[in-house]
């Protein structure tokens, strides 16, 4: 199985400015993500950015950096540009690993790539996990997904789906935001306008479902900690890597 990893890394962040370069245990956050991606089975790992500060920091720790347009609206647009820069064929598999997930397990990267490779009718693959906390079930920041009998996503939402979900019933799945794409699907995806559902839910993956792209999901084989969005998240990751929690 051959696949490439691209890590979109913007400097701008409304809630935590410059977060991909914030220090965690003596390294910028982005370096932790890069090193974990390099520990996967990926044939290549690239960082995609539009900011010179990110480029300089990434090159300082030895990463391959692809400079991308300032006009991109999302990380998906950014990794599509990188696929073109790398000359990847349409049947190539490309994994999008977010630049603010310093605890991403390499096994999760391998799993999402293998999931796509083994499901020929899927254009995208991703991961999910059972929610065991009632507060998280009600949290709109925890994106939920419902699946069909073969593991394909039926719908994603910020609201609680399916209706009446409870932690005790273990019937609510949280979507984990790591994706593997076939490059041919990326080429289509960026040409489509955002769908009404995507705009309403603020979930880009709904554009794929709206246009008939099948997304195959698997329960993650290893716990995938949440990414860093806030100062509290950052301190939690720092404490974790320091061994204090």
Alpha-carbon separation of residue 54 from 9, 193, 225, 235 (angstroms): 7, 29, 23, 21
Residue 245, pLDDT above cutoff 60 = no
How far apart, in whole angstroms, are the C-alpha atoms of residue 68 and residue 82? 7
In a domain, 51, yes or no: yes
Whether residue 237 is contained in a domain is answered as no
> What's the whole-model pTM score?
0.91
Number of separate domains in the chain: 1
Give the C-alpha separation, 100 to 8, whole Å.
9
Specify if 87 maps to a domain: yes
CB distance 154 to 146 below 8 Å: yes
Give residue 157's domain range: 4-222
**Residue 236, domain member (yes or no):** no
Statement: residue 19 has pLDDT above 90:
no
60 in any annotated domain: yes
**What is the pLDDT at residue 164?**
81
Query: What is the torsional sign of CA 102, 107, 110, 111?
Result: negative
Q: What is the pLDDT at residue 1?
A: 66
Structural domain contains residue 41: yes
Q: Which residue has the higher pLDDT, 63 or 240?
A: 63
Q: Which long-range contacts (CB under 8 A, 24 or more apart) does 208-211 make?
A: 208/123, 208/124, 209/153, 209/155, 209/156
Q: Is residue 238 part of a domain?
A: no
Distance of alpha carbon 155 from alpha carbon 147, whole angstroms: 7
CATH of the domain at 96: 3.90.550.10
Q: 243 in a domain, yes or no?
A: no
Q: Across residues 167-184, what is the average pLDDT?
A: 89
SS3 assignment, position 157 = strand
């Amino acid at each position: 199985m051959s696949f490439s990893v691209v890590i979109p890394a913007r400097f701008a962040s409304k809630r935590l400015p410059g977060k991909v370069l914030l220090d965690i245990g003596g390294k910028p956050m982005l370096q932790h993500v890069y090193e974990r991606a390099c520990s996967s089975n990926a044939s290549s790992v690239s960082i995609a950015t539009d900011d010179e500060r990110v480029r300089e920091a990434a090159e300082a720790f030895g990463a391959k950096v692809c400079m991308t347009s300032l006009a991109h609206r999302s990380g998906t647009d950014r990794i599509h540009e990188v696929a073109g820069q790398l000359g990847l064929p349409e049947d190539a598999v490309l994994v999008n690993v977010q630049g603010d997930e310093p605890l991403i397990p390499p096994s999760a990267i391998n799993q999402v790539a293998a999931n796509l490779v083994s499901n020929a009718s899927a254009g995208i693959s991703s991961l999910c996990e059972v929610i065991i906390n009632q507060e998280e079930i009600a949290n709109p920041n925890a994106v939920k997904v419902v699946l069909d009998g073969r593991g394909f996503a039926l719908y994603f939402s910020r609201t609680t789906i399916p209706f009446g979900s409870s932690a005790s019933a273990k019937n609510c799945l949280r979507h984990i935001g790591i994706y593997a794409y076939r490059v041919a699907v990326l080429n289509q995806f960026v040409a489509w306008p955002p769908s009404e559902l995507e705009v309403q839910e603020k979930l880009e993956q709904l554009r794929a479902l709206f246009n008939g792209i099948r997304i195959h999901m698997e329960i993650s084989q290893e716990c995938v900690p949440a990414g860093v969005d806030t100062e509290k998240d950052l301190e939690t990751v720092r404490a974790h890597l320091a061994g204090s929690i």
